[in-house]
Structure 1
Amino acid sequence: MEVAEIENQAPKISSPSKKSFNKYAVSCAILASTNSLLVGYDMGVMSGAVLYIQDDLKISQSQIQVVVGSLNICSLFGSLASGKTSDFIGRRFTIVLAAGTFLMGALLMGMANSFALLLAGRIIAGIGVGYSLMIAPVYSAEISPAMTRGFLTSLPEAFITIGILLGYIVNYALSGLPENFNWRLMVGIAGIPAICISAGVMIMPESPRWLVMKGRMAEAKRILVKTSENEEEANERLREIIKAADDALPTTNAGDGSSERNFSGEGVWKELFLHPTKKVRRMLVAAIGINFFMQASGNDAVVYYTPEVFKSAGIVNRKELVGVTIIMGLAKAFFVLVSALFLDRFGRRPLLLLGTLGMAISLACLGLGSKFLEHKDDKPLWAIVLCVIAVCAVESFFSIGLGPITWVYSSEIFPLRLRAQGSSLAISVNRLVSGIISMTFLTISSKITFGGMFFLLAGIMVIATVFFYYVLPETKGKTLEEIEALFDDKEN
């Protein structure tokens, strides 16, 4: 199909005023987001598995921090590679690559009989995690209509949260098995959904925006028709994508006097690092900033080390420790679904500011409760309950704001040419900060106490709230092509 033919089709239509969910687009976003289930499952299951790994393999607390944090550090490399990879082989096959890499890591972890083999499994799984965290939101954003993009692009975080809850439940269910076997089953069982996800993703379509980047207009049009309310809307979306591609992507001579496009991500790193425009710099600051604060909040570390936090609060029975984490997982899962459903109604900024401010207050309360318990030998019940409620509140506010909105924002603010690699750069910062905090959380807490650590994290969330208020524009209801203009307006 020729570009001129597309542009001469139906007249431009306005976006629908009322949000409606396209079933095909929802199905595609769900399939893509199931990859994130593996990420969440690893986070949830490791929080309990480390209790048994430490006893079975006779490893130190420092080695436990390395095992936990190594996945996040190594996911940095997967995130950095995912942008170029997805521009070259496509969004869909990158999702398959992510699931396959995680599968190999999970199987190696389950069979590990030493610290070295366990660490090797974590490194391989980490690379798969890096791919997953970038590609699922980008694919969902690119296939979604503007009016429901917030909901569909937040689905990866919803699946991460569901995965965390499943990890907690599996921990609880298998905690009664022998200690040299239960943790292997806990971490190795992730291989089953990885196989199912790889097979399921093969039936979903490619991103229409990636197809336009490759000059495959007819295929892009067919997918847009399926993900739009009608053909007129599909034509309008395709015209906007083509215009964005014409403005940003190079074309080559096809040999018959016409031109064709086959972009594979060439020159993007130079544009991002060496010669960024003011607009691109603003996008990078926004995307890197939100990813930095997502992990500087300490969320991943709190999830991984929740049993240690509750143990310091006076809950010492291992089955009770794992059981309490399930309560936290339920609260986290409920609020991420609430955020996803209301993200397109209230917008990104209000929920993000509510979430970070709520986290600051909840972390301060958790710090107060922890400080009180540090000076009490009898561990009063009310103080323990306060800490449990505060941890649940921290995770709930994270699930309202930073959790889902980081993925949404990172995947939608970059223009078509820069989207995959710009997102991968921002998410690599996410993984680096997550790894550093996960590998130092227990060490720092032992120096300044858990109470001091939570006060520190509360202060970081106050800074994050100010940053988001002044730097991040609202993107609700705008097409991916229209969002670019928001950063132009900021310069005027």
Structure 2
Amino acid sequence: MADLKDKTSSISGHSGRPPMVNPKRNNYAFVVAIMASMASVLLGYDIGVMSGAAIFIQKDFRISDVEVEILVGIISLYSIIGSVAAGRTSDWIGRRYTMGLAAAFFFVGAVLMGLATNYAFLMFGRFFAGVGTGFAGLIAPVYTAEISPAASRGCFTSFPEIFINVGILLGYVSNFAFSKLPTHLGWRFMLGVGVIPSALLVIIVLIMPESPRWLVMKGRISEAKRVLDKTSVSIEESQQRLADIKIAAGTDDDDAVNRHTNRKNVWKELFIHPTPSVRHILIAALGLHFFQQASGSDSVVLYSPRIFEKAGITSSDHKLLATVAVGIVKTVFILVATFLLDRVGRRPLILTSVAGQTVSLATLGFSLTIINNSDVKLKWAVVLCIAMVLSNVAFFSIGLGPMSPVYTSEIFPLRLRALGVSIAVTLNRVISGVVAMTFLSLYHALTIGGAFFLYAGIAAVGWVFFFIVFPETRGHNLEDIEGLFGKLPWRSKKNKGIPMEVELEG
């Protein structure tokens, strides 16, 4: 029995505690998590608004499909600058002021895009907006994970994805609202309205507390204790969280302090001499962000008006209304995911999500192929196409979408978190940019149905990856999660983090 305890302790974390499943919720932490997650509205709004604005920009500036691809997708590549800088910046000036920096960049970008007089000027504005979304995309989930009690972390850390979807929906609504204006004015209002969420975020940042984990890293223990007292469900939990953070940050160990303050050693620990657990964590994080984007989610969202046009919907109003429906479905199902993350767990949701996406994408490819090869309008195929677009975004939102910020921000140890999340988000933005900037060319080369068959194949490979690589992290303290990695997830005892081979050895 003693041997079994030692093994389970090493597996479930340094503390050996079982996962926390306290059903109580801290309302202060809930409000703060919502406030922090509003940074994600910036990214969502840009994604949603560009899907419709690009149509009017193409008419106004008379640009080609390739230029449209670059205009739509380049923000993902620009955002790499923000996501790379955010890891270092958030460790330097703090998590909440990094959010303020994100808002400032996006504010400038929205103003420049709204005033753009030509394509080059518009691309200049996209640069500022992209850097802002890069900062926001990284820091919102990191801050939310660090402020959240373990029992609510899955729910709270999914809030950034909720607000991305809210932003997408607002962008779609903005497209429809301003579509009646003259062409040269409509898209300017669509893009310029982005200054409103930016200004609100700056105000919100001023009243948010700083991350307790960042405060501990800076030696501001008393401030961290005050924040933890406010964001924990009990004083006992607050004390335990503080003790765990101090151990993880190495504040009780001079060598650990030196390791934490030496940035080169962080790189070495991630890439050159990783432990089996850290290697497993890095593979899981990078794979998650790769498959989230490579399975074509951005193509569906950014080019939904084009997809509906190919399906036979020719009216501009009807196309924009259909995109609003996409936004509503995405928002509704991300809310469903929020309630399921801490009840069902991460692993079942991600597997269900990717399986559903695979079927939806394959069926969408089939319906579009039938429509393209038919001389008459087939209503059943049009309805099937629309249903599969909605099905795809629903399955994405119930698992693969929220899992990116939730899982990535909780699996990295504190000493590696900012850098690890930064690298994962950078990969996310690279793949997002590639997907967004190649979709029109891809469907010209493969047909639009063929493009979605390709995405379906990638999603199927992703399901196998998640089945092999992903352990369950539901209910565990952040400081204990590293110990769940380095094993075979599908052989683990459900919700315990105790591999079956260990149980058998006992």
Matched-pair contact (CA < 8 Å) for 2:277–2:483: no
Query: What secondary structure, in the 3-state scheme, does the structure 2 residue paired with 1:379 have?
Result: coil
The within-5 A match list for 1:391-470 is 391-470=389-468
Report if aligned partners of 1:215, 1:262 keep a CA contact under 8 Å in 2.
no
1:375 equivalent to 2:373? Answer: yes
Residue 449 to residue 399, structure 1, CA distance change in 2 (3 Å): same
Unmatched 5+ stretches in structure 1:
1-10, 253-258
Alignment RMSD? 2.1
Which residue matches 2:115? 111
1:123 Cα offset (Å)? 1.5
Which secondary structure does the structure 1 equivalent of 2:414 belong to? coil
What is the Cα deviation at residue 45 of structure 1?
0.6
Contact 1:84–1:264 (CA under 8 A) maintained in structure 2: no
Native 8 Å contact 2:278 2:482 kept in 1: no
Equivalent residue for 1:8? Answer: none
Of residues 245, 248, 254, the one that matches 2:249 is: 245
8 Å contact kept, 2:249–2:415 = yes
Alignment of 1:157-176 (within 5 A): 157-176=161-180
- In the other structure, the counterpart of 1:131 is 135
Distance 1:450 1:277 in 2: 44
| 8 Å Cα contact 2:166/2:331 also seen in 1 | yes
Match runs of 1:263-342 below 5 Å? 263=261, 267-342=265-340
Counterpart amino acid of residue 72 in structure 1: S
> 1:52 matched to which residue of 2?
56
**What's the TM-score once normalised by structure 2's chain length?**
0.91
**Count of aligned pairs:** 476
Instruction: Report the residue type matching 1:189 in the other structure.
Output: V
User: What is aligned with 1:361?
Assistant: 359
Aligned residue number for residue 205 of structure 1: 209
Residues 363-394 of structure 1: CA distance to partner in whole angstroms, max 9, x if unpaired? 11101100000012332222111100000000
Instruction: Give the TM-score normalised by the residue count of structure 1.
Output: 0.93
CA distance in 2, matches of 1:94, 1:87: 9
Measure the CA separation in 1 of the matches of 2:258 and 2:288. Answer: 36
Task: Note the alpha carbon deviations across 1:127-181, whole angstroms, 9 max, x for none.
Answer: 1111111100000000101111000000000000011111111111111011000
User: Of 146, 168, 185, which residue of structure 1 is paired with 2:150?
Assistant: 146
CA displacement at 1:273 relative to structure 2? 2.8
Structure 1 residues 87, 168: CA separation in 2 closer, same or farther (over 3 Å shift)? Answer: same
Q: 1:429 to 1:59 in 2, by over 3 A?
A: same
Distance, in Å, in 2 between the alignment partners of 1:23 and 1:133 is 24
**1:255 corresponds to:** none
Aligned equivalents of 2:423, 2:330: Cα separation in 1: 27
Q: Pick from 56, 81, 98: which aligns with 1:94?
A: 98
From 44, 69, 75, the equivalent of 1:71 is 75
Query: Aligned equivalents of 1:377 and 1:247: distance in 2?
Result: 71
- Structure 1 residue aligned with 2:350: 352
Supply the distance in 2 between the matched residues of 1:47 and 1:459 (Cα, whole angstroms). 25
* 1:62 corresponding residue in structure 2: 66
- The match for 1:155 is 159
Partner Cα separation in structure 1 for residue 69 and residue 199 of structure 2 = 29
2: CA distance between counterparts of 1:306 and 1:248? 53
Q: Which residue of 1 aligns with 2:192?
A: 188
| Per-residue deviation, residues 54-90 of structure 1 (Å, max 9, x unmatched) | 0111111110101011100111121111111111111
5+ residue gaps, structure 2: 1-14, 489-498
- Report the CA distance between 1:280 and its aligned residue: 1.6
Residues 20 and 477, structure 2, Cα contact 8 Å, conserved in 1: no
Counterpart of 1:365 in structure 2: which amino acid?
T
- Partner amino acid, structure 1, of 2:158: S
**Conservation of the 8 A alpha-carbon contact between 1:87 and 1:263:** no
Q: CA deviation at 1:276?
A: 2.5
Secondary structure at the aligned position of 1:316 is classed as coil
CA deviation profile, 1:346-379 (whole Å, cap 9, x unmatched) = 0000000000000000011101100000012332
Q: Of 31, 36, 53, which aligns to 1:32?
A: 36
